[in-house]
Structure formats: structure tokens, C-alpha cells
Structure 1
Amino acid sequence: MLFSLRSRGRIGVVTVLTAALAAVVPGVAQAAAPPANDDFDAAAAVTSLPFTTQEDTGAATKATDDPLWCEGYATTGTVWFSYTATQDGLLRATTAGSDHRTMLSANTGPRGGVQSVADACDYGSAPAITFRATAGTTYSFLVGGLDQPGGALTFALDTVAPAPNDAYGTAEPVTTLPFTSQPDLSVAAAEAGEPESSCVDDEGAPSVWYSYPASDAPHALSARVEGTDATVTVYAGSSLPELTQVACARPNSVRPALFRTSPGTGYAIRVTGAHHGYGPFRFTLAETPPLNPDVSVYPSSATVFDNVGFSASSWNDIDRPLGGTWDFGDGTTAPVGTDTVYHRYAADGVYSVTLHATSPDGRTATVTRSVTVTTHDVGIAKFVVPSSARQGESKPVSVDVTNTRYAETVTVVLSKRSTNYWTEVGRLTLQVPARATGKVRFPFAYTFTPDDALAGKVAFRAEAELEYPSADALPGDNEAISVATTVKPPATRIVAV
């Protein structure tokens, strides 16, 4: 038993010596301890502001219940900071100055019931979050490495003065037009009770407010915001709970928010930014330029057989789509559409066509164009050729032309069919008066040739042409082709002996 006790003593001494040597002998690896604030329950307390600290988070670990709402599964090591707000106002946390990419988020609630603070999430080389804090609420800040578990971390927390027009109650008044402002949304936050916007996907994103006073007369206004993922929303009303949306423009849209004011009504305009991008932003409120649509009419010189096309457009995208009414000047109307509208006139005349245009925001304009309808129309009513002939015979060919509209100078061209083409054999120009009934005959005579006899038959074509600049509205009846004439060789004379 004595030997056993001594042996155990020697073993204990050896164990202690081995541990001591491992601590001092170079080359013996030592596992780095995680940071003191590695876990939610051991968060580093921030007791006063401004606050800045540096620490090495290279050995940071990640708890299985760390919230994932901000970075998902991207981080591999996290540390915690906590702060209990002493007053209402904006807080800004940042990890700028760290030597690695980080994720930063703000949370509330106890372990097992952690809740995200709206839009208090950012990540990258110098993430920063700004949010509206409530006095007495404890905020837990989670910081994690993105490209590596950790490294030299800098964490800073401080209060920031809000933008002067951060809240609806302190909206910046618009006193003259055009009005331009460059809001700093990095010192803004969403306000409790803000009305929703159909153009805003994240109602927790930072925003600032502008007000436009009630006026005695209606005005067409254009509200535009330039900047990445920025949104502008126009509301009508005199208090935050009663605001109703009038117009909005989605992020990165080339089309502004257009609205028409009503006399006696005040308007509030909210500019909402993107959570991850704080600008620069540029807000503009201006009178919308007068509506000046372009009108196209084709053809401008038409006939009663034409479908005349009417289209309205505008170079200004805020004018589209145009609405309103077409008045064709003959007692008929049609709504303005995005496509060409067609109309056929029943009688010749000069018509005053009027476009009563309306823009999406209620601006109106009237544009007038003149359309001349003139219908020239002659036709070949009858084409008579001989049924048969002999070589060398000259026989009559007649073409009857009708005309019911205007006195016309008409040329009829007579052609015969050769092997693969038509050959002109006669041309005659006559005056053809306008008559409700009756025809004008164009008389021709044709002498049949040896080629006609050799072929055995010949077909004729008649074409009626109007004197320039008149053009026939229905040229389809200006041409006629005859049934072929049978052509025989010349008669053989029998000589008496």
C-alpha cells in the first residue's frame, strides 16, 4: 500500500510538470479562448454613449440559437453587445474599421425569444445600421464574420440626430415650385403609424417627409426621387392616421408620381430609401409641363374607300397612356386608345378632326387636324373586241368608261398579248364628265397581223388612267382583259381560168 501511494504521487507530479512544460516550451500548440462576449448571455454591456471598442474575434464561435434573420447561415463566428436605451431617438451601430467583412444586426427580447429590429441589418466591409430606439428597451447587437470566422473587430454605437423632416409632424414645407431637396436618409428611420404605400416593399425602411399646402386652384404636380431603390409616395390628409395614398413611383422608375391637387386639400410626400443604400438621393416637386400630344393622321388625303388611321402620342413618358376622345368632324367620335384608331368617311369633304386628350394625372389638351377626303373613281364598264378576224383586216375595238364623281381627263391604253408580255397597240385621251348614268366610249381600230394569224388568236387589255395628280380610289375596275379573238390567215382568192 505504501508503494502504491508513492507511485500515485510520482504520477501526479509528472502530470503537473508536463502541463507546466507545455505552457513554456516553444512549439506546443495552445487553443485560443473565445472572446468573453462570444455568447448571447455574456454580451458586452454598453453603459454609456458614444461607445467604441476593439477586440479579436478570431476564436469566436456560433451558437446554435443565434438568430438567422439577417445573415442566414453566412457567418461562422459571432459576438454580442447589449445596450439599454435611456431615451427615445436614433441609434447607429457600425463595424467600420474592422479588418474583415462583417454582418451586423440589432435585436430585442430574451434568449429563445429574440426579435429582429426592423431593417436593423447590414453586412459588408463597413456595415452600419440606424434605427429608432425606445427608452427602456434593451437592444442586443449581433456581429459575425463573413469571409472568415473573425479578426480585428471594431464596434461603435452612438446616438445620431434625426433628419429635421424625419417624422410626419416635422415635414419640410414646400413653399415654391419647382422644389428640390437632397435628403440624408442615413439619419432617418421609419415612424410608427406611417401609412402604407403600394410602391414600397419594406415599410420599415428609413423615410423623410415633405408637405405641400392646400391651394385655391387645382394644379398638376410631378413628384420624383432619384437614387438607388428610392420611392416617393404622395398622400392627402391633415394628420398621420387619416393619410390616404394619392400617387407613388416605384424604385428606379423613370415615371414620377403624378397627381392633381384639389382645392382646399393638403398633401404629404414621403421619400423612402433602401435599407442598404443611403444615397445620395434627390427629391423634386414641380408643376407638370402642359400636355402637348402629337397627332398623326394617315393618309391625310383620303377617299371614301380608305380607313383613315388616327394616333395620339407624347414624347413625355409622364403623359402616357393618353386618354380622351377623337371627334372626326362628321358627327362621330371614338375613344383614344394606345393603338391607332381607324375611321372611314362616307362622303368627300374637308373635315376638322379634334383630339380631346387627357393625361393620367388629369391634364387636358385639344389638338385639331384637317383631313381632306376626295374620291376619284372611273371604271371600265364595257370592253368589246371582235370574236374573229383574218390577217390584214382592221376591225373596231371599243372601251366604255363610266364616271360618277368629278369631270376627269381619262386615257385608255389598249394592249395586245404577245408571247409573254403585253404590247401597247393604241392610246386615246378623252374628257369624261361626271354622270349618274351613261358612259363615254373610247373607239379604237386594230389591224390584225401575220403574227396574230400564226398564233391563231389574240387577247386585248384595256387600262383607264387618270391625269396626274388625280389617282383612282378603286383601280381594280380600271383594267379589263378580253376574250381572245380568233385570227385566221387571209382569204385565198380563186382565179378563173
Structure 2
Amino acid sequence: MLLSMRSRGRIALATALTAAFALLVPGVAHAAPPSNDDLDQATAITALPFTAQQDTSEATKAVDDPSWCQSYDVRGSVWFRYTATADGYLRASTTGSDPEMILAVHTGTRGALRGVDNGCGVGQDVTFVAKAGTTYSIMVSGYDVPGGALSLSLDSVPAAANDDFAGAQPVPALPFSAQPDFSVASYEADEPGSTCQSDGNTVPSVWYAYTNTGEAKSVTARTTGDGSAVSVYTGTSLPELTQVACKNDSYGQPTAFRAAAGATYYVRVTGPSRTYQPTTLFLDDAPALEPSIYQSPSSPTVYDTVSFSAESWNDIDQPMTVDWDFGDGATAPAGTGTVSHHYATDGTYTVTLHATSPDGRTATKTTQVVVTTHDVGIAKFTVPTAAREGDSKSISVDVSNTRYAESATVVLSRNDGNWWRTVATLTLTVPARPTKTVRFPFAYTFTPDDAADGKVVFRAQLQLDYPVRDARPSDNEVIAIATTVKPRGTRIAAV
């Protein structure tokens, strides 16, 4: 069909406008994926050390990209391949990349890739043991974006110089600290076990040698770092080493051992190959043993059995072996628990302990124990047997005291059926007399309520001024037999 003149004009106008728009808007370039975007096109690494800088922002994800290394969804990946020429450690790093990258190292072929031990790092270097002739495929990917400015390096790294017992690093002096790199350390055949780490024969280790060039002393060893542990041994070869101390990281708490003069001690530090917290070893002279004495009760009397124990805030001090001198001629042999002692007379006694820590540190500590026995008692409580409403009757409390002059208070109360209500309070000085007592006199007027109840029950309580403590308070309270109360005008028998 022939187009009309009007239609041909519209087409020509549209074509012209399209051409004009193309002149005004710059063209958009669609960048191609990197040349090593797929495993089959991995960049070959032919020599070490190797470095590469690459833009991976257009990297894509293959359907069979492995995801064992990370829990993130791989958005895009690039590949590198290296065939090891010798046994040893290799370290791959993406330090300097933007953004952080995921490193994953594999052996095998497409469809049968296997991740290598320690061959995974999210924003971290990867150090792994390579075998000569084995080909390693290294995948680098982004975890929140397809990629970015990648900076990759691969190089061989030596094993830790003190990886083996024979290469133990000398400790020049105390205090000493070191941060071992377990990524280039391994377990050596015949390494001894550790009582503080159940998997001590499956984790990497490094060795240090400490020789005590001075007099015998105690030394502490500790590590910080999740999963780390320190073990101390004596001996000259792996098969014959004997453990003398051991401690896992336990929030940085130390272990202690006695270092004999001129003796050499081998310190093994173990830890995981990969951790987000570095492991640090600390060796130092042990602090002085400073035990404290705990006694109960704090203010004993001759009626008490006093308990003593030696305590310390420092874990390495426990359990302490302690022998005791109680200051009154009695002693207790060396032991690790609480001891008890009875003082027969009042007085001030110097108690002495001689303590020894498990690693051999010693200390002597003294304390003063003051034995004071205050003992007052109600010897007699006299109340009327009967009364009438309105009568005022005498009530008396006789108090005995044979030890020290005391300021004593007697509280007189009556029971209203539900509660004890205070009637009167009296304080007097009570001298210490072996046979005589002091009378506390009271008077009480009986009320209509007493008559309605028909009886009144009185209680006497004896108290000493604080902080004085009565040694035997059981005789400080007496409840009298009830007093019969009659209404006014009722005849009662003479009392």
C-alpha cells in the first residue's frame, strides 16, 4: 500500500527527532565482565610473589560457584589458579581492596571443588598449607556488592621459627610477651598432652624456652585469646617432657610454677589457626603471696568455737597449705581447709598463719583475736498472781552478772492477745558480782481491759547497749505466769 503524503511526512519528522536526541544524549557503554569471571578462564599465577589489581565491579556469578566459605550470597566472582612448586605455607590477601572481599581456596576440578583447610577468609588473609604439584583455585567475590577495586596478593610464607620443639624461642628476661601466628604453625609428632586442653594434639603450637639464671622463684604464665592455652614442661626432648603447669585462656588468668635455679622450662602455646582475636603469651615473676585471715565469729566469747581460714584473691595462690598458731599455746598442723579453736578465757590473742602456695611461695600473717564474754541474765521475775481493776502493783526483775560491769536495760511488756505492748523500760548499771543481783523495780496499774480479759501476761527482756553482745542470750527473756485480773470491787485473795 502506498503511504500518503501526510504519513510519509510524519515518519520523516520522527526520524529527524530521533537523530537529534541521539546527538544530545551521550551513549551508554555496557562494560564486559572481567576476563577471569569464570573458573574455566581463571588467571594463571606462574610465579610468586604475585600481585594483581583489577576492577571486579562487573563480575558475575556462575550457577556452580561454591558457597562453602561464607554464609553470604555471592554476587559476583573472579578466579585465579596456582600450581604449587613446593610444600609449604601460602598466604593470599585482599588487603587494600574496596570493598572487603571474600577469599576461598579450592582444590579439584569444576563440579568437584573442595575447600582447603583454613582456605576461607571474609575480609581476612588466608594462610594454608600447600602441597607441591597441587593446583589451587582461588575465588574472590563480594558479599554485599558484585565486587569493586580488587587488590590480590599471593606469596609463600615461612613456618613459625619456633613451630617445633627444637626451635623453641629463648625467653631473654621477665616480664616477657609474644604474639604467635598460629596460621604458620602446626602440631609436631610426639608433642605431649595438656591437662587443660582436651584437643591439645590437634591444634597448632609454638614453643618458648625459659631458663632461670637466678635463685629459685615462682613464675606465672598466661595467654589471652579465644581457644588458646599455655603449658609448661621440664625435660630435654619431646618424648620425655613432664608437665608442671597448664592453663587455658580462662579470661587471662595465669598458672604458676616453681622455677629452680639454673633449670630450663619449655613453654608450649596452642591456639586455633584462625581467630579474630590475636593470642598473646605473658611470662612474669609471680606476685608475693599475700593471704588474709578470715575468722568467724568476728567477736568471739569463751562459749564460741572460732573458725579460721586463709584466703586470697589470686587463683594461683589456691589451695594454700597453712599451719596455725592460735596464740594461747595451741597450734594446728599444715592443711588446706578451715580450722577451729576454742579459747577458754577472755583475752587478746595473736594468731599466726604460715602459708605456702601450690608453686612454693610462702608468707606469714598475723591477726589479733579479742575474746570478750559479756553474760547477764534474768535471775528472777516477780509479778502479782492476782489483781483488781485500778490496782497498782509492783513488778520486779532481778538481773545477775558475774563478768564485767554492764549498762543493762529491761523492757517490760504485756500481751494484749495479739502483740506484745511495751509497758515500761528501765536502764541501770549492773556491777559484776558472783552472788548478788540487781533489782529493776516496776509498777503497773491494771486497766478495765485487763479486767475484761480476766488476766494479763507479762514479759521481761534484758538488753545490753550496742555493740556489746550477750554471749548467752537464752536467759535474757522471761515470760511470767499470767496474772488474774478481777473487776473493781471484787474480792481477791491477798497476794
- What SS does structure 1 have at the residue aligned with 2:251? coil
Aligned pairs for 1:71-220 within 5 A: 71-72=70-71, 74-109=73-108, 114-124=113-123, 127-161=124-158, 164-181=161-178, 183=179, 185=181, 188-190=184-186, 192-193=188-189, 198-199=196-197, 208-213=206-211, 219-220=217-218
1:253 CA displacement: 1.6
Amino acid of the structure 2 residue aligned with 1:45: A
Distance 2:31 2:199 in 1: 47
Deviations along 1:301-350, one digit per CA (max 9) or x if unpaired, are: 2124446565544344x44654445748356689656xxx6957373345
TM-score, length-scaled by structure 2: 0.69
Deviations along 1:430-477, one digit per CA (max 9) or x if unpaired, are: 64533xxxx53556877786x679965776655556699864212331
- What SS does structure 1 have at the residue aligned with 2:219? strand
Assess if the C-alpha contact under 8 Å between 1:119 and 1:204 holds in 2. no
The equivalent residue for 1:270 is 269
Assess if the C-alpha contact under 8 Å between 1:299 and 1:309 holds in 2. yes
Distance 1:139 1:117 in 2: 9
Distance 1:445 1:187 in 2: 89
The equivalent residue for 1:38 is 38
Assess if the C-alpha contact under 8 Å between 1:358 and 1:365 holds in 2. yes
Distance 2:422 2:231 in 1: 73
1:381 CA displacement: 3.3
The equivalent residue for 1:297 is 295
Amino acid of the structure 1 residue aligned with 2:230: T
Aligned pairs for 1:42-53 within 5 A: 43-53=42-52
- What SS does structure 1 have at the residue aligned with 2:257? strand
Distance 1:277 1:390 in 2: 90
Amino acid of the structure 2 residue aligned with 1:422: V
- What SS does structure 2 have at the residue aligned with 1:266? strand
Q: 1:238 to 1:272 in 2, by over 3 A?
A: farther
Distance 1:74 1:323 in 2: 56
1:149 CA displacement: 3.6
The equivalent residue for 1:15 is none
Assess if the C-alpha contact under 8 Å between 1:408 and 1:467 holds in 2. no
Assess if the C-alpha contact under 8 Å between 1:173 and 1:210 holds in 2. yes
1:292 CA displacement: 0.5
Assess if the C-alpha contact under 8 Å between 1:200 and 1:231 holds in 2. no
Amino acid of the structure 2 residue aligned with 1:189: A
Q: 1:491 to 1:130 in 2, by over 3 A?
A: closer
- What SS does structure 2 have at the residue aligned with 1:301? coil
Amino acid of the structure 2 residue aligned with 1:433: R
Assess if the C-alpha contact under 8 Å between 2:379 and 2:400 holds in 1. yes
Distance 1:484 1:388 in 2: 5
The equivalent residue for 1:61 is 61
- 2:413 paired with 1:421: no
Aligned pairs for 1:345-356 within 5 A: 345=342, 347-350=344-347, 352-355=350-353
Q: 1:43 to 1:359 in 2, by over 3 A?
A: farther
- What SS does structure 1 have at the residue aligned with 2:367? strand
Distance 1:444 1:313 in 2: 47
Assess if the C-alpha contact under 8 Å between 2:389 and 2:450 holds in 1. no
The equivalent residue for 2:433 is 433
Q: Which runs of 5+ in 1 are unaligned?
A: 1-25, 493-497
- What SS does structure 1 have at the residue aligned with 2:474? helix
Distance 2:302 2:423 in 1: 32
The equivalent residue for 1:472 is 470
Amino acid of the structure 1 residue aligned with 2:288: P
Distance 2:385 2:313 in 1: 65
Deviations along 1:21-64, one digit per CA (max 9) or x if unpaired, are: xxxxx99998946734722x554332212222344553443353
TM-score, length-scaled by structure 1: 0.69
Amino acid of the structure 1 residue aligned with 2:186: A
- What SS does structure 2 have at the residue aligned with 1:169? helix
Q: 1:238 to 1:77 in 2, by over 3 A?
A: farther
- What SS does structure 1 have at the residue aligned with 2:252? coil
1:284 CA displacement: 2.6
Assess if the C-alpha contact under 8 Å between 2:352 and 2:366 holds in 1. yes
- Taking only the aligned residue pairs, the percentage that are identical comes to 43
Assess if the C-alpha contact under 8 Å between 1:293 and 1:365 holds in 2. yes
Q: 1:29 to 1:241 in 2, by over 3 A?
A: farther
1:191 CA displacement: 5.1
Q: 1:113 to 1:398 in 2, by over 3 A?
A: same
Distance 2:289 2:46 in 1: 61
The equivalent residue for 2:17 is none
Deviations along 1:103-147, one digit per CA (max 9) or x if unpaired, are: 2133445666655443232112xx322334444444332323322
Q: 1:37 to 1:258 in 2, by over 3 A?
A: farther
Assess if the C-alpha contact under 8 Å between 1:328 and 1:354 holds in 2. yes
Assess if the C-alpha contact under 8 Å between 2:226 and 2:275 holds in 1. no
The equivalent residue for 2:9 is none
Assess if the C-alpha contact under 8 Å between 2:36 and 2:80 holds in 1. no
Assess if the C-alpha contact under 8 Å between 1:36 and 1:42 holds in 2. yes
Q: Which runs of 5+ in 2 are unaligned?
A: 1-25
Distance 2:77 2:490 in 1: 120
Q: 1:441 to 1:116 in 2, by over 3 A?
A: same
1:489 CA displacement: 6.5
Assess if the C-alpha contact under 8 Å between 1:59 and 1:149 holds in 2. yes
The equivalent residue for 2:253 is 255
The equivalent residue for 2:370 is 372
Assess if the C-alpha contact under 8 Å between 2:183 and 2:273 holds in 1. no
1:286 CA displacement: 0.7
Q: 1:218 to 1:414 in 2, by over 3 A?
A: closer
Larger mean Cα displacement after TM superposition, 326-335 or 368-377: 326-335
Q: 1:62 to 1:259 in 2, by over 3 A?
A: farther
Assess if the C-alpha contact under 8 Å between 2:381 and 2:397 holds in 1. yes
Deviations along 1:465-492, one digit per CA (max 9) or x if unpaired, are: 6699864212331233434265786999
Q: 1:192 to 1:103 in 2, by over 3 A?
A: farther
Superposition RMSD on alpha carbons, in Å?
A: 4.8
1:300 CA displacement: 3.0
Assess if the C-alpha contact under 8 Å between 2:231 and 2:247 holds in 1. no
Amino acid of the structure 2 residue aligned with 1:129: V
Amino acid of the structure 1 residue aligned with 2:377: G
Assess if the C-alpha contact under 8 Å between 1:303 and 1:375 holds in 2. yes
